Homo-oligomer: A and B are copies of this chain.
Amino acid sequence: MTSRATTAGPRERLLEAAKRLTYTRGVGVGIDALLSASNVARRSLYEHFGGKDGLIAEVLRLAAEEDEATYRRTMRAAGGNPRDRLLAVFDALAKVVARPDFRGCRYLAADLALADPDHPGHAVTREYRQRVHHLLERELAALGHPRPDLAADQLLLLIDGTLAAGATRPDSRPAASARLLAEQILDAGAA
């Protein structure tokens, strides 16, 4: 009986609580809040992550993995047509920004809040954006778009804009607005 869920170790509990609290309260949350929310001893944080910065970076890494998987799942569920797969991303965004607890893009918030350009979190967010960019670019290439790199930049810009507007002007239905523009980007490839 060594199996069973074993209630998840302190590392996992801390990561989960940090993922939640760094989003709702920002990366400026105090360590104590993370520890008490996860019922993890102070010392365990430093043994597992070396410090707050390491924990934040790991949280971003974990969230980025999940979010990238969500992108892939969304596109996979949309079938084999690259156009449908890309537009499905904006339909998914509409649901994301409509969630009552939506508070904007976690990665942009982290980049803006972490003033130190050498903070390890920045490298994580940078790589995440590259991965999403690559994801989009591949679909655009499959679509036969003449400039998949530029178009991927534009789609990424629409995604960032949607998440920003979703946080600051939720009543403007930004995902729908962005989807219309995305269609025009894709039409340039179908021409």
Give chain A's interface residues, CB within 8 Å of chain B: 24-26, 28, 103-105, 107-109, 111-113, 115, 125-126, 129, 150, 153-154, 156-165, 167-169, 172-174, 177-178, 180-181, 184-185
Decide yes or no: A153 and B172 within 8 Å by CB, A103-B112, A112-B108, A181-B185 being known contacts. Answer: yes
A157–B177 touching, CB < 8 Å: yes
Residue of B nearest to A109 (CB): B112
Is the Cβ of B169 less than 8 Å from the Cβ of A154?
A: no
Residues of B within 8 A of A103 (CB): 112
Given contacts A24-B115, A104-B111, A160-B161, contact A154 B168 (CB under 8 A): no
Q: In the complex, which residues of chain B have a beta carbon less than 8 angstroms from the beta carbon of A108?
A: 104, 108, 112, 164, 167-168
What is the minimal beta-carbon distance from A102 to any residue of chain B, in angstroms? Answer: 12
User: A180 — which chain B residues lie within 8 A by C-beta?
Assistant: 154
B169 touches A156 (CB 8 A): yes
A20 to chain B, nearest CB (A): 13
A112 touches B167 (CB 8 A): yes
**Chain B nearest CB, measured from A158 CB (Å):** 6
User: Could you tell me the distance between the alpha carbons of A157 and B158 in the complex, rounded to whole angstroms?
Assistant: 7
**Docked-complex contact B165 and A181, CB < 8 angstroms:** no
Given A24-B115, A160-B160, are A129 and B169 also a contact pair (CB < 8 Å)? yes
Q: A26-B113, A160-B160 are in contact. List 13 more A-B contacts (CB 8 A).
A: A26-B115, A103-B112, A104-B112, A108-B164, A125-B168, A129-B169, A154-B177, A154-B180, A156-B165, A156-B169, A157-B165, A160-B164, A163-B164
